Amino acid sequence: MTAVLEAHGLGRRYRRRWALSDCTLKIPAGQVVGLVGPNGAGKTTLLHLAVGLLQPTAGTIEVLGDRPAASPAQLARVGFVAQDTPTYSGLTVADHLRLGAHLNPGWDARTASDRIERLGLDPRQRAGKLSGGQRAQLALTLALAKKPGLLILDEPVASLDPLARREFLQSLMEAVVDQGLSVVLSSHLVADLERACDYLIVLIDSRVQISGEVDHLLGTHHLLTGPRRDPARLPEGQQVISASHTDRQTTLTVRSEGPIHDPAWVVSKIGLEDLVLAYMSRTVGAERRPALEVQR
């Protein structure tokens, strides 16, 4: 399978701080990829590197087989909707479509006008007068009408109310079916991405903690509860992601390719949100929780 995005040892430094370090990724085509992590984790930096708005300090990145923004052809194949789905508030909806048509060689006017009609947007309306949800849909329309092979969206639903959020993701998923495009979208909320994405990248503290197909991630992570014991004594191949203890009980989130056979553990499935939280607590744990005892 071809990769839509491939990064090796990718890093970006702002002055003395690394916003992204040692990022190695290979995202297969035809998937909807969720990039999730807390605010300030480096999500926007990674996305800006992917569209060529930033240059790497270290390592390499290729998008659709070429360096980001390497040529007009490469630019035409990647759609980008920046954080908070920006539009020009003084321009009307129709102005936005005209602008899109002028700036993009592969512009599909039909797709654009059909979408605007289906959304019930008035072409004469200024973007500044639109609701947040409508503005987001307008930004999405512009990105889709340039017919990209890969669409990158930075926190597209963060500022939307739940209904607008749902509607935005609905039209995004419909576009995936219609246009067969690959999508990378970021969010600091797993719940936003849970249904829409089939591939997940967890980015915390400027580092990729884990990435892979959602089904695979859910199948290889388990929640174990049992009598208290030292997580360091687990069999090989079982990696502890997070651990918490009471004086009697131990609860672990464990990553393991094989099944857990130890009868002392009650093994349960883990949801995507808990999985991401387990990775988050791990990085917090490394800094702030030196000893196991402190966690009680």
Partner 1 sequence: MIEFHLDAHSGVAPYLQLIHQVRQALRLDLLSEGDQLPTVKDVVGRLAINPNTVLKAYRELEYEGLVAARPGLGTFVTRTLGDGSPATIAPLRRELQRWLAKARRTGLDDESIEALMLTTFRSATEGEENIA
Q: Decide: 214 and 32 in contact? Cβ < 8 Å.
A: no
Q: End-to-end CA distance of the chain: give it in Å, rounded.
A: 47
- Cβ neighbours around 271 below 10 Å, total: 14
The answer to the question of residue 260 lying near partner 1 (CB under 8 A) is no
CB of 166 to partner 1, least distance (A): 5
- Could you say which of 4, 19, 32, 54 contacts partner 1 (CB under 8 A)? 32
CB of 212 to partner 1, least distance (A): 14
CB of 79 to partner 1, least distance (A): 18
Q: Decide: 287 and 281 in contact? Cβ < 8 Å.
A: no
Give the interface segment with partner 1, choosing from 1-9, 38-46, 100-108, 193-201 (CB under 8 A).
Answer: 193-201
What DSSP string describes 225-293? EEE---GGGSPTTEEEEEEEE-SSEEEEEEEESSPP--TTSEEE---HHHHHHHHHHHHHHHHH--SGG
The answer to the question of residue 271 lying near partner 1 (CB under 8 A) is yes
- Could you say which of 195, 216, 228, 289 contacts partner 1 (CB under 8 A)? 195
The answer to the question of residue 262 lying near partner 1 (CB under 8 A) is no
The answer to the question of residue 169 lying near partner 1 (CB under 8 A) is yes
Token duo for residue 33: 């990829």
Return left, alpha or beta for 212; rule: phi > 0 is left, psi -120 to 50 is alpha, else beta.
Answer: left
The answer to the question of residue 114 lying near partner 1 (CB under 8 A) is no
CB of 148 to partner 1, least distance (A): 17
Torsion, Cα of 21, 191, 68, 63 (10° steps): 100
Give the interface segment with partner 1, choosing from 3-11, 42-50, 174-182, 245-253 (CB under 8 A).
Answer: 174-182
- Could you say which of 117, 122, 178, 257 contacts partner 1 (CB under 8 A)? 178
Q: Decide: 56 and 10 in contact? Cβ < 8 Å.
A: yes
- Could you say which of 196, 223, 254, 275 contacts partner 1 (CB under 8 A)? 196
Cα distance between residue 3 and residue 64, in whole Å? 7
CB of 259 to partner 1, least distance (A): 10
Binding mask 138-167 for partner 1 (x = CB under 8 A): ----------------------------x-
- Site of interaction with partner 1 (CB under 8 A): 31-32, 166, 169-174, 176-178, 191, 194-198, 215, 218, 269, 271
